[in-house]
């Protein structure tokens, strides 16, 4: 049997296995989130801010960030990222940032914000950590990394780096049930798609 091939369609942010779209981690855990009470404009603004922070951090870690091009809130947020680096003693040259990965057996993909091989999986957030969803998300990222050749250790330290213009927080989000919960959510996703295909082809 031919080996399945994972690819990431960056332009459309799609995870593909043998050309077929598979869910990303955030899609799999979506049933755990409820944003129905938030004004759509507020939610969009928060998403745009989060995207800007993620991109700025990625560019900073690869020495491609032009600080003079940033507005004041984003400059302050990057300074908090630098404060976090000083606090942890990490060297940004050791980071693996925004690397798309896929599992061709379980049929899902994901992108971890920062990987420190053999040490930590770090998810950048512009909101407070949500232990339920963030722990499951980082557990799935850890499994993807190991599946794709990352160092196998007993357990990666899984953390959320919460960045704002005024401060950073760095809570640990490891939990013993994180991976089993993700597997249940992934099975739910695939089963829902399967049932819908039955309906479509009846």
Task: Pick 24-200's CATH classification: 3.30.390, 3.30.70, 3.90.320, 3.40.50.
Answer: 3.90.320
Give the pLDDT mean for 19-32: 97
- Per-residue pLDDT of 73-92, as tens digits, reads 999 999 999 999 999 999 99
Backbone angles phi, psi at 161, to 5 degrees: -100, 100
Residue 1 has pLDDT above 70, yes or no: no
* pTM higher than 0.85: yes
Residue 2 has pLDDT above 90, yes or no: no
The pLDDT score that the predictor gives to residue 36 is: 86
- Domain positions in the chain are 24-200
Give the pLDDT mean for 6-32: 97
Question: How many residues make up the chain in this entry?
Answer: 202
Asked if 133 and 29 touch (Cβ cutoff 8 Å), the reply is: yes
Strand (E) positions, the chain?
6-9, 14-17, 20-22, 96-103, 108-116, 120-125, 157-163, 168-169
- Per-residue pLDDT of 109-149, as tens digits, reads 999 999 999 999 999 999 999 999 999 999 999 999 999 99
How many helices (H) does the chain have, and how many strands (E)?
A: 5, 8
Res. 201 pLDDT band, cuts 50 70 90: confident
178: tokens are 């994180």
- Which string of b and e fits 69-101 if b means at least 16 CB within 10 Å? ebeeebeebbebbeebbeeeebeeeebebbbbb
């Amino acid at each position: 049997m031919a080996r399945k091939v994972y690819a990431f369609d960056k332009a459309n942010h799609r995870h593909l296995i043998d050309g077929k779209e598979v869910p990303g981690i955030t899609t799999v855990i979506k049933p755990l989130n409820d944003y129905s009470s938030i004004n759509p404009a507020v939610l969009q603004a928060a998403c745009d801010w989060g995207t800007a922070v993620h991109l700025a951090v990625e560019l900073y870690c690869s020495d491609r960030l032009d600080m003079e091009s940033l507005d004041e809130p984003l400059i302050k947020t990057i300074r908090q990222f630098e404060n976090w680096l000083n606090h942890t003693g990490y060297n940004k040259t050791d980071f693996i940032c925004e690397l798309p990965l896929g599992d061709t057996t379980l049929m899902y993909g994901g992108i971890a914000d920062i990987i420190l091989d053999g040490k930590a999986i770090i998810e950048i957030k512009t909101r407070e950590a949500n232990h339920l969803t963030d722990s499951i998300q980082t557990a799935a990222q850890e499994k993807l990394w190991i599946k794709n050749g990352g160092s196998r250790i007993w357990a990666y330290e899984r953390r959320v780096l919460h960045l704002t213009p005024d401060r950073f927080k760095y809570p640990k989000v490891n939990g013993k049930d994180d991976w089993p919960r993700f597997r249940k959510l992934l099975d739910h996703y695939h089963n829902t798609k399967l049932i819908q295909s039955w309906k479509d082809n009846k």
